[in-house]
Amino acid sequence: MPGRHETRKAVFAATIGNVLEWYDFGVYVFFAATIGHTFFPSADHTSLLLASFGVFGVGFLMRPLGGVIIGRFGDTHGRKAALTLTIMTMAFGTVMVGVLPGYASIGMVAPVLLVVARLIQGFSAGGEWGGSTAFMAEWAPHGHRGWYASFQQASIAMSLVLGSATGAVLSSILTPADLASWGWRIPFLLGIVLALIGGYLRRNVDETPVYRAAKEGPEEATTHSFWPALRAFGFTIHWTVAFYILLSYMPTFTSQHAGISQAEALWANMICVLVLMVLIPAFGALSDRVGRKPLLLLSCAFFVILTRPLFAAIVSQPGFAMIASIQALFGAAIALYSGAGPAAIVEMFPTLGRSSWMTPAYALSVAIFGGFAPFIATWLIALTGSPIAPAYYVMAASAVSFLVDWQMPETAHADLR
């Protein structure tokens, strides 16, 4: 078994690379309204948001394809090679968004190229999640898999903090006109710097011991992973809907329906994500002691019961402090799932089929239920006339995953297959 120093070095490199990767992918949603004005001609603000969030969702359509191709690549060529590929691809798509001319300059070519950039990002993200999750879990020593694997989700939270902070700072120091004209491009152009850092870190780590041992051992059949993949699909529904409604979409929601400014909305969201980032490793470590299922079920139950009243409290416009507190509570509840979830989903699959099956199963669920979550939330509000309509989408997703999780075996104390 590898030494503690070697393990920590590998997980640290994967964590930092993951932060940079998901910063690139997620920063789009923080500037959704501004991007809508730049690339889509319309006087209707709702139509602009729907178009912008629609393009955000399009990126997720490529995630299953990226999951299949890069997931298979990760099983045949190794986790390290797959993760190096994903971060370089993501950087290309992100910088492309930052340099694209708007509709006023090149007409309909602008939104078409924006879609292409999002498809490239989506392809990369489809392979990233499963590859990085498998990498961290496979490096973990026995009895600490929940702790080490949780840094995959903690790193995504770090990326949201980075994205939220960038958006909040730019919104605070730039005039609305400057932000709309050129300021929104800055976070995307940073993608090239982040890619160089992340790419370097990932090229200088070793392959996981579990993967090396599996490749050196007898050939392993992976044809029986269909049912675990189906379980992983249902397992992910609550996870992805809660994440993209209550984290990515919330700055747009609170600035429109809670009576706070765009800058305040971004700062409130950053507080929420900071809570998430801090609690995920703690809950990951707790899942090593008490099991994965209690934390997973508690998270789902929280959102089934409390999402609607908390949304109602937000739209009553109680002020920044109360809204930030409610969002922090959401962050803590998501952290229950995000702490135990990475190890739990890895433990569903055998090593040599893990990336091939887990990655597309997760990516397909995210593409269907998470990628279009901001679009669905905006559409539900427009359809019903009620700003709390997105709460019902969250509640339904949580109920489905609760049933899936209830049927799962407890795997916290078993060895990886």
Q: Nearest-CA neighbor of 340 among 153, 125, 67?
A: 153
Report the range of poorest mean pLDDT among 219-223, 260-264, 277-281: 219-223
pTM above 0.75, yes or no: yes
Residue 65 lies in a domain: yes
CATH number of the domain residue 276 falls in: 1.20.1250.20
Residue 52 lies in a domain: yes
- Tell me the pLDDT tens digit for each residue of 214-233: 777 655 544 467 889 999 99
Buried b (16+ CB within 10 A) or exposed e, 24-43: bbbbbbbbbbbbbbbbbeee
Report the range of poorest mean pLDDT among 76-90, 146-160, 189-203, 369-383: 189-203
Average pLDDT over residues 232-239: 96
Average pLDDT over residues 30-54: 72
Residue 28 lies in a domain: yes
- Tell me the pLDDT tens digit for each residue of 347-360: 999 888 888 888 88
Domain of 308? 4-407
Residue 416 lies in a domain: no
Residue 417 lies in a domain: no
- Tell me the pLDDT tens digit for each residue of 169-203: 887 888 888 887 888 888 888 877 767 777 777 77
Residue 128 lies in a domain: yes
Residue 387 lies in a domain: yes
Q: Nearest-CA neighbor of 76 among 232, 198, 214?
A: 214
> CA-to-CA distance for 169 and 31, rounded, in angstroms?
13
Q: Nearest-CA neighbor of 13 among 142, 153, 206, 187?
A: 206
Residue 405 has pLDDT above 90, yes or no: yes
Q: How many structural domains does the chain have?
A: 1
Can you say whether residue 259 is alpha, beta or left, with left for phi > 0 and alpha for psi between -120 and 50 degrees?
left
Confidence (pLDDT) at 293: 97
Average pLDDT over residues 249-256: 86
Look up residue 415 and give its DSSP letter: P
Half-sphere exposure of 226 (CA within 13 A, CB side): 2
Q: What is the DSSP string of 344-384?
A: HHHTTS-HHHHHHHHHHHHHHHIIIIITTHHHHHHHHHHHH
Average pLDDT over residues 33-44: 74
- Tell me the pLDDT tens digit for each residue of 285-311: 999 999 999 999 999 999 999 999 999
Residue 414 lies in a domain: no
Residue 159 has pLDDT above 50, yes or no: yes
Residues ≥6 apart with Cβ < 8 Å to 59: 25, 28, 118, 119, 121, 122, 125, 371
